[in-house]
Amino acid sequence: MKLAEITNYLESIAPLNYQEDYDNSGLIVGDPNMEIRAALVALDCVEKIVDEAISTGCNLIITHHPIVFKGLKKLNGKNYVERVVLKAIKNNIALYAIHTNLDSIHTGVNARICERLGLTGTKVLSPKTGLLKKLVTYCPQAQAEQLRSALFYAGAGNIGNYSECSFNADGFGTFKGNEDSDPFVGEKGIRHRENEVRIEMVYPTQAERKILLALFENHPYEEVAYDIYKLENKHQLVGSGMVGWLEYDMDAYDFLHLVKDRMQAKVVRHTDVIGKRIKKVAVCGGSGSFLLREAIAAGADAFITADFKYHEFFDAEEKLIIADIGHFETEQFTSNLLLEIIQKKFTNFAIRLTEQNTNPINYLF
């Protein structure tokens, strides 16, 4: 199958515009039209992962972390990033990363952590803004239903758990075509009044091209009147971290042991146990200290994440327990998640999980 078939599917689930500004998700090495024989899935793309791909006949490596974060000015193999890219190119292996865009979706990395911990009633901890727009257009009443259906099919009108959402208001429009016009209704040179429906729909920004194409192809008018508005609304299903509830409240130490066990963590660095029982829990895969205020504001009793600095532990101020279990440990189940996502769509595609542990941190007990 073509590489583009796989990457397009992954980006339909975790669009690239969901990634953070600093990130570099997407196709890093490879031609979208190349034929893919088999794929290897890993958390990190390091040299031993490329070697494993070569030995197992995989010409695509899909990882959570991008091998290239910053621009490469030279490719001479002086560091592991350059060596990985050079070896991948030399062996015609495509490299694809699906990082903070996979973190951001409500069925992504953080959902998998919540699942491991047995959390229910989960929702995004810090929803993103700037991902939604509104389309407003005006259509003759007789053709309005066909146009609505086409826009829905193109991806407009989805709000949370609801689809085919629109607002409609009856009114009338006026227009007068010149000699070069070809009006759908009315006559050239004569002002025409037509009963119309004002149709409003919210849509995700990444679907705009497809939605506008549906608008132009299904609207009966020669000149389509429409407006697009940028929305500052939060996208409740896209953002950073998640928060949810344990089935029953737990003693703090029992909860920390549960986290260590369920997340297969070697060590749990945590703030003082403050006496209250744990019921509501916030999580963030990878480096999550930037979400501490949101976790506190959400009323979480504990916050599970990684990469807290020494002084940042003080910021908990006994309002919750911070449990830092390690960056790799919070994200180690992401490879399984990616495998499941791909196998659900491409049931006969040859894909395998890496047998390598790419955690760069070791522990001495």
Please tell me the predicted confidence (pLDDT) of residue 72: 87
Sheet holding 120-128, edge to edge: 120-128, 235-250, 278-287, 302-306, 321-324, 269-270
Question: Average pLDDT in the 85-100 region?
Answer: 98
Please tell me the predicted confidence (pLDDT) of residue 304: 98
- Look at the domain 3-103+331-353 and name its fold: 3.40.1390
Please tell me the predicted confidence (pLDDT) of residue 275: 84
For 131-231, CATH number out of 3.30.56.10, 3.30.70.120, 3.50.50.60, 3.90.1010.10 equals 3.30.70.120
Reduce the DSSP state of residue 342 to 3 states and report it: helix
In the predicted model, is pLDDT for residue 10 greater than 90?
yes
Between 181-185, 199-203, 281-285, 320-324, the lowest mean confidence (pLDDT) is in 181-185
Question: Average pLDDT in the 35-39 region?
Answer: 97
Helices (H), 239-289: 252-262
Query: In the chain, what is the straight-line distance between the N-terminal and C-terminal CA atoms, in Å?
Result: 47
Percent share of the chain, pLDDT over 70: 100
270 is in an annotated binding site: no
User: Do the domains at 105-126+239-325 and 131-231 have one common CATH topology?
Assistant: no
pLDDT digits (tens, 9 = 90+) for 339-348: 999 999 999 9
Is 63:49 a contact under the CB 8 Å cutoff?
yes
Reduce the DSSP state of residue 134 to 3 states and report it: strand
Residue positions counted in the chain: 365
Please tell me the predicted confidence (pLDDT) of residue 274: 84
* Nearest 10 degrees: Cα torsion 247, 251, 256, 258: -40
Please tell me the predicted confidence (pLDDT) of residue 203: 97
In the predicted model, is pLDDT for residue 365 greater than 90?
no
Q: For residues 319-334, b (16+ Cβ closer than 10 Å) or e, as one string?
A: bbbbbbbbbbbbbbbb
In the predicted model, is pLDDT for residue 71 greater than 90?
no
Angstrom distance (rounded) from CA 316 to CA 292: 7
327 is in an annotated binding site: yes
CA dist list (Å): 149 to 197, 227, 265: 14, 19, 49
Between 109-123, 180-194, 248-262, the lowest mean confidence (pLDDT) is in 180-194
149: left (phi over 0), alpha (psi -120 to 50) or beta: alpha
Predicted TM-score of the model (pTM): 0.92
Please tell me the predicted confidence (pLDDT) of residue 67: 97
Question: Average pLDDT in the 45-64 region?
Answer: 98
Domains of the chain, residue spans: 3-103+331-353, 105-126+239-325, 131-231
Question: Average pLDDT in the 37-42 region?
Answer: 98
Structure-token pair, residue 296: 């506190």
Please tell me the predicted confidence (pLDDT) of residue 343: 96
pLDDT digits (tens, 9 = 90+) for 315-335: 999 999 999 999 999 999 999
Q: At what angle do helices 109-117 and 334-345 cross, to 10 degrees?
A: 110
Question: Average pLDDT in the 71-78 region?
Answer: 89
In the predicted model, is pLDDT for residue 162 greater than 90?
yes
Within 10 angstroms of residue 78's Cβ, the number of other Cβ atoms is: 9
Please list, in sequence order, all residues whose beta carbon lies within 8 angstroms of the beta carbon of residue 127, skipping any fewer than 6 positions away. Answer: 234, 235, 236, 237, 238, 239
192 is in an annotated binding site: no
In the predicted model, is pLDDT for residue 166 greater than 90?
yes
pLDDT digits (tens, 9 = 90+) for 190-222: 999 999 999 999 999 999 999 999 999 999 999
CATH class of the region 105-126+239-325 = alpha beta
With the C-alpha atoms ordered 73, 78, 84, 86, is the resulting torsion angle positive or negative?
Answer: positive
Structure-token pair, residue 227: 């407006």
